[in-house]
Structure 1
Amino acid sequence: MPLLRTLNEADSLRMNYQVLCSELSVSVEELQDTALRANEIEPLLVQDGEDLVLTRSLDLLNARTIYEGIKQRGRFALKDVTASTNLELMQEKDNLVSGDALVAEIQTEGRSLRGTRWLSSIGSNIMLSMAIKFPSLQHLLGFSLAIGVATVTALEFAGVQNVRLKWPNDVVFGDKKLAGILIESVPSPDGEVFAIVGVGLNIHNSQSISRNIDRPYTTLEEMGYDVRRNDICIGLINEIKYASNNFRRSGLTPFIDSWNRHDVLLGRIVDVAISSHRSVTGRVVGVNSQGELLLESNTGGRTAIRSGHIIAIR
């Protein structure tokens, strides 16, 4: 990241190899190795004679800008590289403070609710995790839906329109995934529990992600929005803090109307896998105060589903 930041600020996005080596205090061999490793994540660097060139300007995050934009001040950190922002906060469980936020430029082992890998690039996504304290695990029921509403609200404040929510943890545009939410938990030393809220959001187009992803997805750039990652990150942190405080006071109830307005599944017939051997079919009629998906059968009976994933939509 020091190499990419230096080139990103250089005239014409290029610098002489020797000048770069001097500025970064590395050898030519170390510089070349660093460039190769960066290109393994995203093809960004090319050699042109004695210059190293950044092929496009990067929308990099700035820790000071983000911190100064956070309304309810709390601890915030921006890391160049981490395996997983969620995992890093979980490993700090004995030192966490409710409201702690961590963002990374590069995440090497991000994952989704179903354990699939969340692909990341350089300067393209937001990988954000926050720690929110609750009295017990029981108090987390429905919390992921409140975070979904907070994510959509942050995007709407940024001018993004027509984003929808897909139970239990996706933000979508049409039939394409724009963001995913992963909530995990760790015990607090005082006997309470920290919810570790992870949000992965696609901002800019990425060659490497396009080559490696095997499911429909989109980015704010592909949707036609020219937004800065710093601004979106600030909005997410502020909305998640606001939503978390509201949820701790009143549970999911204040969020249900907003969820229903944005629910891409409402009124549609879906198949939901609730285990490796069982699925349920019905028409989606909303969610309840526990965050459970409500399905109505042909006979009018209702089923509340606490956990599962959508395998078909009709």
Structure 2
Amino acid sequence: MSQKVVTSNPMASLRPLLELLADGQQHSGESLGAALGISRAAVWKQLQKLEQLGLSVESEKGRGYRLPGGLDLLAADQIRAFMSRSGQALLGTLQVLDQVDSTNARVLAQMDAGEGHGLVMLAEQQTAGRGRRGRQWVSPFAGGITLSIGWEFQGGVQILEGLSLAVGVALARALERFGVPDVRLKWPNDVWCRGRKLAGVLLELSGDLTDRCGVVVGVGLNVGLAEGAGRDIDQPWIDLESVRPGVARNHLAAAMLEELLTLLSTYPNAGFAAYRDAWKGLDQFAGRQVTVHSGPRQWVGASRGVDESGALLLEIDGELQRFHGGEVSLRSGEAGE
């Protein structure tokens, strides 16, 4: 597969300034202007624009400006350098954007145009990120890993059974590389840590669902959310920095891509069967009482893992019932979950 690395930024003019401020140190307006080749007035205008990204720049008279805590910016060349040769070989185009409406929407559009196979898109911030069931995915600037991958399959949508669960396993394996503790999976497509949501997965389909079809795998993982950044999240959440601080975002993104691209390239032959046992071993709700909601209806029973297609198995009054994805959601029946 041909490889291409693209750094495409709707706010590209701000990237040099962000790179200078990323160290979290004080920089005078004069030194920033000299480094950027612009006037101090132009520097001030760019600093004002950073507020549009949700970044708070501190200024101190006589000393200059700084971004408290600095930034760990994504860079396409660094991500690819952290990947193995086999992982790099699976990459098509690798794009890193500063700000975008939705990486899934952009990659899905490319898939619909027949150009998205192997396309990987990451963004520092999404303005219209989506989760399951139309929920908003909150993505503060440089606060997580937000990525989408486009992939084409032959054989119709039936060969993708259980894929969202397998993606969860791939993400857990990527996190395991960095010693992240207490990672679990919540059916059908959430990654949890210490009883709270760490990452979410959204799969979207394109093309002929009976023959040649495409899938966009969207992932959002909380790395380090600033205080107050998660106030709009409607469920208990956690970020990586609170359980395993110091993981470099480019290194983490590379590990995630290696696991996900390997999964996508082998899934038509391996299927969910290759991931079922691993998923069951990470099941957050194994053996516990849960409630499954689907529209106005709900069912209560004991979670008994998943079947060979990835459907949830729920024991109700001694009988196993199967629940598939879509509008089905899962909530623990126990207090505090």
Distance 1:52 1:246, change over 3 A: same
Give the SS at the match of 1:87: helix
- Structure 1 residue 7 corresponds to structure 2 residue 7: no
1: distance between equivalents of 2:110 and 2:240?
Answer: 32
Give the SS at the match of 1:286: strand
2: distance between equivalents of 1:95 and 1:172?
Answer: 34
- Structure 1 residue 44 corresponds to structure 2 residue 25: no
State the Cα distance separating 1:191 from its structure 2 match. Answer: 5.8
The one-letter code of the counterpart of 2:175 is L
2:108–2:116 contact (8 Å) kept in structure 1: no
State the Cα distance separating 1:229 from its structure 2 match. Answer: 0.5
Note the aligned Cα RMSD (angstroms): 2.2
Aligned position for 2:319: 301
State the Cα distance separating 1:5 from its structure 2 match. Answer: 1.2
1: distance between equivalents of 2:116 and 2:53?
Answer: 32
1:42-99 per-residue CA deviation (whole Å, 9 max, x = no partner) reads 3431222262222222111121111122332222111111111111101112253533
1: distance between equivalents of 2:55 and 2:97?
Answer: 21
> Which ranges in structure 1 are unaligned for 5 or more consecutive residues?
none
Identity %: 31
- Structure 1 residue 82 corresponds to structure 2 residue 100: yes
The one-letter code of the counterpart of 1:67 is R
Deviates more, 1:154-163 or 1:243-252: 243-252
Alignment of 1:183-202 (within 5 A): 183-187=203-207, 192-202=212-222
Instruction: Return the match for 1:53 from 66, 69, 73.
Output: 66
1: distance between equivalents of 2:49 and 2:211?
Answer: 43
Deviates more, 1:157-166 or 1:147-156: 157-166
Aligned position for 2:180: 160
1: distance between equivalents of 2:55 and 2:211?
Answer: 47
State the Cα distance separating 1:162 from its structure 2 match. Answer: 1.5
> Which ranges in structure 2 are unaligned for 5 or more consecutive residues?
1-13
Give the SS at the match of 1:158: coil
Aligned position for 1:254: 274
2: distance between equivalents of 1:278 and 1:183?
Answer: 24
1: distance between equivalents of 2:300 and 2:280?
Answer: 19
State the Cα distance separating 1:254 from its structure 2 match. Answer: 0.9
The one-letter code of the counterpart of 2:21 is L
2:290–2:332 contact (8 Å) kept in structure 1: yes
1:256-295 per-residue CA deviation (whole Å, 9 max, x = no partner) reads 1000000001101111112x22112211111112111010
Instruction: Return the match for 1:122 from 141, 144, 147.
Output: 141
Deviates more, 1:44-53 or 1:127-136: 44-53
State the Cα distance separating 1:184 from its structure 2 match. Answer: 0.6
1:114-152 per-residue CA deviation (whole Å, 9 max, x = no partner) reads 211111112220001111211222222210001000000
1:223-243 per-residue CA deviation (whole Å, 9 max, x = no partner) reads 143211111100000001112
Aligned position for 2:9: none
Instruction: Return the match for 2:252 from 215, 226, 232.
Output: 232
Give the SS at the match of 1:212: coil
2: distance between equivalents of 1:224 and 1:134?
Answer: 36
2: distance between equivalents of 1:301 and 1:225?
Answer: 44
Count, aligned residues: 309
1:167–1:293 contact (8 Å) kept in structure 2: yes
- Structure 1 residue 213 corresponds to structure 2 residue 233: yes
2:289–2:301 contact (8 Å) kept in structure 1: yes
2: distance between equivalents of 1:117 and 1:29?
Answer: 37
Alignment of 1:139-150 (within 5 A): 139-150=159-170
2: distance between equivalents of 1:95 and 1:70?
Answer: 26
Aligned position for 1:91: 109
1:146–1:247 contact (8 Å) kept in structure 2: no
The one-letter code of the counterpart of 2:27 is M
1: distance between equivalents of 2:277 and 2:173?
Answer: 13
The one-letter code of the counterpart of 2:61 is G
1:45–1:53 contact (8 Å) kept in structure 2: yes
State the Cα distance separating 1:32 from its structure 2 match. Answer: 3.8
- Structure 1 residue 112 corresponds to structure 2 residue 112: no
Aligned position for 1:280: 299
Q: Provide TM-score, normalisation by structure 1.
A: 0.91
The one-letter code of the counterpart of 1:16 is S
1: distance between equivalents of 2:128 and 2:40?
Answer: 29
